[in-house]
Amino acid sequence: MSYTHLDAPQRSGEWFTARLGRLTGSRAKDMLATIKSGEAATRRDLRAQLVIERLTGQQAEDVYVNDDMQRGIDLEDPARLAYEAQSGNLVEPCGFLSHDALMAGFSPDGLVGDDGLIEIKCPKMATHYRRLTSLSAPSEVLPQVTHGLWLTGRAWADIVSYDDRYPAPLRLVVHRVLAADLGMEDYAAKVVAFLAEVDRDVAAVSGWKAVA
């Protein structure tokens, strides 16, 4: 997979600019949303947001960070260090990766070796408990991880759940997922189809003329 690495801190102005109009991992779940008939509202809204961002060069929505989200941001570095200590893997911090052929991108929480990446989540206590007691990777994180593995071409991802409010042995849980188990060809086809829809919408709106 061919992509360009922007070495800018996540949530910096440069990072937000690089994401404009691109399908990113955090929105992969919305892109995949389906309903029995027609288009899911979350998919339609995402499509509209990407069109707006491409036309205006500005974010379509205000970035709101609540207390839980800020806590997750603050704990990313301790979680990364805890993962390195437990796994023995060294994690390379990463900014934003832009797909060279498609309007898509991804912000890994870290790259591991030549073939892995990590996705760090610092959730609510009840969510962390569910992840501690489950043998399966959290399904709500899989679209984001699938997107990252597709864009980078890497073979596996470790989904890290971290909560420093638990006793030390229970603060970190890791679920590894393999790209080979995630239906990457099907996902790639859905990305291409979705982005083609966005392209058509941009072209259609650009061709409109204001009514006098």
> Domains (ranges, CATH) in the chain?
3-206 (3.90.320.10)
Using the 8-state DSSP alphabet, how is residue 207 labeled?
A: T
Give Cβ neighbours of residue 2 (< 8 Å, ≥ 6 apart): 99, 100, 101
Residue pLDDT, tens place only, 50-106? 999 999 999 877 666 788 778 878 899 999 999 999 999 999 999 999 999 999 999
Q: Report, as an integer, the average pLDDT of 170-185.
A: 97
Q: Report, as an integer, the average pLDDT of 202-212.
A: 76
pTM of the model: 0.94
pLDDT reading at 206 higher than 90: no
For position 32, what pLDDT does the model report? 98
Please give the distance of CA 43 from its chain centroid, rounded to a whole number: 15
User: What b-and-e string marks burial along 29-49, b requiring 16 or more CB atoms within 10 Å of the CB?
Assistant: bbbbbeeeeeeeebbebbbeb
Q: Are 104 and 23 in contact (CB under 8 A)?
A: yes
Angle at 49 between CA 46 and CA 54, to 5 degrees: 130
Could you give the angle at which helices 76-87 and 67-74 cross, rounded to 10 degrees? 40
For position 70, what pLDDT does the model report? 86
- State the average pLDDT for the chain: 93
For position 96, what pLDDT does the model report? 96
Q: Report, as an integer, the average pLDDT of 41-48.
A: 97
Lookup: tokens for 202: 């941009």
How far apart, in Å, are the Cα atoms of 166 and each of 129, 160, 162? 9, 15, 9
Residue pLDDT, tens place only, 113-145? 999 999 999 999 999 999 999 999 999 999 999
Q: What percent of the chain has a predicted confidence (pLDDT) above 70? A: 96
Q: Report, as an integer, the average pLDDT of 23-39.
A: 96
Q: Report, as an integer, the average pLDDT of 17-36.
A: 96
pLDDT reading at 210 higher than 70: no
For position 111, what pLDDT does the model report? 97
pLDDT reading at 212 higher than 50: no
pLDDT reading at 211 higher than 60: no
